[in-house]
Amino acid sequence: MDDAPTLDQLPVGAEGTVLAVRCERAIARRLMEMGVLPGTRITVLRIAPLGDPILLRLRSYSLSIRRREAAGIVLSDVREPVGAQALAEQAPS
Partner 1 sequence: MTAAPALARRPRIALAGNPNAGKTTLFNALTGASARTGNYPGVTVERRTGRWRSPDGRELEVLDVPGTYSLSARSPEEQVAVEALLPRGGEPPPDVVVVLADAGALERHLYLAQQIADAGLPTILGLNFMDEARRAGVRVDVEALAASVGVPVVPLVATRGEGLDALAAAITGALAGEPRERPPEPLTPIVAPYVREVEAWLEGRDPDEPPAARRARALWALLSLGDDELEGVDPELRARVEAAQARASADGVELDRELIEARYRRIEGHVRAVVAGPRVERGASVTDRIDGVLTHPVLGMGVFALVMLALFEALFRWSEPLIEGIEALVGLAQALVREVVPDGPFAALLADGVVAGVGNVIVFVPQIALLFVFIAVLEDSGYLARVAFVIDRLMRGVGLHGKAFVPLLSGFACAVPAVLATRTIESRKDRLVTMLALPLMSCSARLPVYALVIAVVFPADERLGLVSIGALVLFSMYALSVVATLGAAAVLRRTVLRGPRPALVLELPPYRWPAPRNVLSTVGRRVKDFLVDAGTIILAITIVLWALLSYPKDESVSARYADLRAEAAATLDGEALEARASALAAAEAGEQARHSAAGRIGLALEPLIEPLGFDWRIGIGLIASFAAREVLVSTLGIVWGIGEEEDERSPPLREALRDATREDGTPLFTPLTGLALMVFFVLAAQCMSTVAVVRRESGSWKWPLLMVAYMTALAYLGALLVQQGGQILGLG
Cβ distance to partner 1 smaller for residue 29 or 85: 29
| Residue 1 touches partner 1, criterion: CB under 8 A | no
Among 2, 3, 33, 89, binds partner 1 (CB under 8 A): 33
Residue 83 to residue 48: CA distance in whole angstroms: 22
Say if residues 62 and 43 touch (Cβ distance below 8 Å).
no
Q: Are 28 and 22 in contact (CB under 8 A)?
A: yes
Q: How many CB atoms lie within 10 A of CB 83?
A: 10
43 binds partner 1 (CB under 8 A): yes
Residue 91 binds partner 1, judged by CB under 8 A: no
Binding residues for partner 1, rule: CB under 8 A, are: 21, 23-35, 37-38, 43, 45-46, 48-53, 55, 57, 59-66, 68-69
